A = this chain, B = another copy of it.
Protein backbone atom coordinates (compact mmCIF):
# COMPACT_ATOMS: atom_id res chain seq x y z
CA UNK A 1 0.00 0.00 0.00
CA UNK A 2 1.43 3.37 -0.98
CA UNK A 3 1.72 6.09 1.62
CA UNK A 4 0.64 9.74 1.40
CA UNK A 5 1.98 12.25 3.94
CA UNK A 6 -0.21 15.35 4.31
CA UNK A 7 0.73 18.71 5.83
CA UNK A 8 -1.70 20.57 8.11
CA UNK A 9 -1.46 24.37 7.86
CA UNK A 10 -2.79 25.72 4.54
CA UNK A 11 -3.46 22.15 3.32
CA UNK A 12 -6.11 20.74 5.67
CA UNK A 13 -6.25 23.61 8.20
CA UNK A 14 -7.19 27.01 6.80
CA UNK A 15 -4.48 28.94 8.54
CA UNK A 16 -4.13 32.17 6.53
CA UNK A 17 -7.64 33.73 6.88
CA UNK A 18 -7.55 33.68 10.68
CA UNK A 19 -4.02 35.07 10.77
CA UNK A 20 -5.00 37.87 8.40
CA UNK A 21 -8.23 38.62 10.28
CA UNK A 22 -6.42 39.03 13.61
CA UNK A 23 -3.73 41.17 11.98
CA UNK A 24 -6.27 43.43 10.23
CA UNK A 25 -8.21 43.83 13.46
CA UNK A 26 -5.19 44.72 15.59
CA UNK A 27 -3.40 46.97 13.09
CA UNK A 28 -6.42 48.58 11.42
CA UNK A 29 -5.59 47.21 8.01
CA UNK A 30 -7.69 45.71 5.23
CA UNK A 31 -5.29 43.20 3.68
CA UNK A 32 -6.84 40.35 1.68
CA UNK A 33 -5.65 37.03 0.30
CA UNK A 34 -4.86 38.86 -2.94
CA UNK A 35 -2.30 41.03 -1.17
CA UNK A 36 -0.52 37.87 -0.08
CA UNK A 37 -0.07 36.47 -3.59
CA UNK A 38 3.56 35.45 -3.98
CA UNK A 39 4.48 36.72 -0.54
CA UNK A 40 3.75 36.28 3.17
CA UNK A 41 2.31 38.61 5.75
CA UNK A 42 5.66 38.94 7.51
CA UNK A 43 7.37 39.87 4.23
CA UNK A 44 4.65 42.38 3.40
CA UNK A 45 4.94 44.07 6.83
CA UNK A 46 8.53 43.31 7.89
CA UNK A 47 8.46 46.03 10.56
CA UNK A 48 5.79 43.94 12.35
CA UNK A 49 7.40 40.53 11.85
CA UNK A 50 7.71 39.82 15.56
CA UNK A 51 4.05 40.65 16.21
CA UNK A 52 2.92 38.63 13.17
CA UNK A 53 4.77 35.53 14.38
CA UNK A 54 3.53 36.05 17.95
CA UNK A 55 -0.06 35.18 16.91
CA UNK A 56 1.18 31.65 16.18
CA UNK A 57 2.78 31.31 19.60
CA UNK A 58 -0.62 31.56 21.24
CA UNK A 59 -1.44 27.92 22.19
CA UNK A 60 -5.05 28.46 21.12
CA UNK A 61 -4.32 29.81 17.63
CA UNK A 62 -4.38 26.43 15.89
CA UNK A 63 -7.34 24.99 17.80
CA UNK A 64 -10.25 26.56 15.89
CA UNK A 65 -8.95 26.86 12.34
CA UNK A 66 -11.49 26.05 9.64
CA UNK A 67 -11.09 22.76 7.81
CA UNK A 68 -10.04 23.12 4.16
CA UNK A 69 -12.92 22.51 1.79
CA UNK A 70 -13.40 18.86 0.77
CA UNK A 71 -10.33 17.67 2.69
CA UNK A 72 -12.24 15.45 5.13
CA UNK A 73 -14.24 13.70 2.45
CA UNK A 74 -11.28 13.19 0.10
CA UNK A 75 -8.87 12.01 2.84
CA UNK A 76 -11.45 9.52 4.03
CA UNK A 77 -11.71 8.18 0.48
CA UNK A 78 -7.94 8.15 0.02
CA UNK A 79 -7.53 6.26 3.29
CA UNK A 80 -9.27 3.27 1.75
CA UNK A 81 -6.51 2.86 -0.84
CA UNK A 82 -3.49 4.60 0.67
CA UNK A 83 -1.83 4.73 4.04
CA UNK A 84 -2.38 8.31 5.29
CA UNK A 85 -0.01 10.17 7.64
CA UNK A 86 -0.46 13.76 8.82
CA UNK A 87 2.98 15.39 8.97
CA UNK A 88 3.15 18.89 10.41
CA UNK A 89 6.13 21.11 11.18
CA UNK A 90 4.95 21.64 14.76
CA UNK A 91 8.47 22.10 16.19
CA UNK A 92 8.46 25.68 14.85
CA UNK A 93 5.68 26.44 17.35
CA UNK A 94 6.01 24.01 20.26
CA UNK A 95 3.09 25.72 21.99
CA UNK A 96 0.87 24.31 19.22
CA UNK A 97 1.27 20.57 19.99
CA UNK A 98 -1.91 20.08 22.00
CA UNK A 99 -4.11 22.30 19.86
CA UNK A 100 -2.97 20.52 16.70
CA UNK A 101 -3.54 17.09 18.22
CA UNK A 102 -7.02 18.01 19.44
CA UNK A 103 -7.90 19.63 16.12
CA UNK A 104 -6.93 16.47 14.24
CA UNK A 105 -8.90 14.23 16.61
CA UNK A 106 -11.95 16.46 16.20
CA UNK A 107 -11.96 16.92 12.44
CA UNK A 108 -10.34 13.68 11.24
CA UNK A 109 -11.61 11.13 13.80
CA UNK A 110 -11.29 8.34 11.23
CA UNK A 111 -7.49 8.69 11.17
CA UNK A 112 -5.34 6.75 13.62
CA UNK A 113 -3.36 9.11 15.88
CA UNK A 114 -0.40 6.73 15.50
CA UNK A 115 -0.21 8.24 11.99
CA UNK A 116 0.22 11.83 13.24
CA UNK A 117 3.76 13.19 13.02
CA UNK A 118 4.93 16.42 14.64
CA UNK A 119 8.33 17.25 13.22
CA UNK A 120 10.49 20.09 11.93
CA UNK A 121 12.70 18.93 9.06
CA UNK A 122 10.40 16.84 6.86
CA UNK A 123 13.26 14.99 5.16
CA UNK A 124 12.73 12.53 8.05
CA UNK A 125 9.38 11.50 6.48
CA UNK A 126 9.34 8.16 4.72
CA UNK A 127 6.42 8.26 2.30
CA UNK A 128 5.66 7.93 -1.39
CA UNK A 129 3.97 11.35 -1.62
CA UNK A 130 4.05 14.53 0.42
CA UNK A 131 1.25 17.07 -0.07
CA UNK A 132 2.52 20.39 1.28
CA UNK A 133 2.27 24.13 0.60
CA UNK A 134 5.96 24.68 1.43
CA UNK A 135 8.16 23.58 -1.45
CA UNK A 136 11.24 23.71 0.78
CA UNK A 137 10.08 20.42 2.34
CA UNK A 138 10.43 18.67 -1.04
CA UNK A 139 14.12 19.38 -1.46
CA UNK A 140 15.41 16.44 0.57
CA UNK A 141 12.20 14.38 0.47
CA UNK A 142 12.72 11.04 -1.29
CA UNK A 143 9.16 10.59 -2.55
CA UNK A 144 7.10 12.82 -4.85
CA UNK A 145 6.28 16.30 -3.62
CA UNK A 146 2.84 17.66 -4.48
CA UNK A 147 2.52 21.41 -4.02
CA UNK A 148 -0.81 22.52 -2.58
CA UNK A 149 -1.58 26.01 -3.83
CA UNK A 150 -1.44 28.76 -1.22
CA UNK A 151 -1.10 32.50 -1.90
CA UNK A 152 2.54 32.51 -0.81
CA UNK A 153 3.60 29.75 -3.25
CA UNK A 154 1.77 31.01 -6.33
CA UNK A 155 5.02 31.72 -8.21
CA UNK A 156 6.68 28.42 -7.29
CA UNK A 157 7.39 26.23 -10.30
CA UNK A 158 8.97 22.84 -10.77
CA UNK A 159 6.55 20.79 -8.70
CA UNK A 160 3.31 19.04 -9.45
CA UNK A 161 0.70 21.53 -8.27
CA UNK A 162 -2.85 20.94 -7.01
CA UNK A 163 -5.24 23.80 -6.34
CA UNK A 164 -7.77 22.11 -4.08
CA UNK A 165 -8.82 18.76 -2.64
CA UNK A 166 -10.91 17.77 -5.63
CA UNK A 167 -7.76 17.95 -7.74
CA UNK A 168 -6.01 15.70 -5.22
CA UNK A 169 -8.88 13.26 -5.48
CA UNK A 170 -8.56 13.35 -9.26
CA UNK A 171 -4.80 12.80 -9.06
CA UNK A 172 -4.90 9.78 -6.76
CA UNK A 173 -8.26 8.13 -7.37
CA UNK A 174 -9.01 8.63 -11.04
CA UNK A 175 -7.01 5.61 -12.16
CA UNK A 176 -8.87 3.29 -9.80
CA UNK A 177 -12.23 4.31 -11.24
CA UNK A 178 -11.42 3.73 -14.88
Contacts and interface: CB of A to CB of B under 8 A. Distances in A.
Contact of A118 (B97, B112, B115, B142): B97
Q: How large is the interface on A (under 10, 10 to 19, 20 to 34, 35 or more residues)?
A: 20 to 34
Chief secondary structure at chain A's binding surface: mixed
A127 B118 CA distance: 16
A115 B121 contact: yes
Contact of A142 (B91, B114, B126): B126
Contact of A94 (B92, B98, B115, B125): B98
Given A97-B98, A125-B126, A91 B116 contact: yes
Nearest to A112: B120
A124 B121 contact: no
Given A97-B97, A101-B97, A126-B142, A91 B114 contact: yes
Interface in A58-105: 85, 87, 90-92, 94, 97-98, 101
Given A5-B124, A101-B94, A116 B119 contact: yes
Which of A3, A5, A121, A142 has the largest number of chain B CB atoms within 10 A?
A121
Interface of A: 3, 5, 85, 87, 90-92, 94, 97-98, 101, 112-121, 123-127, 142
Given A85-B124, A87-B124, A94-B97, 9 more contacts: A3-B124, A85-B121, A91-B101, A97-B118, A115-B120, A116-B120, A117-B120, A119-B119, A126-B142
Q: 6 closest pairs, A vs B, by CB?
A: A114-B120, A97-B97, A126-B126, A118-B118, A117-B119, A114-B121
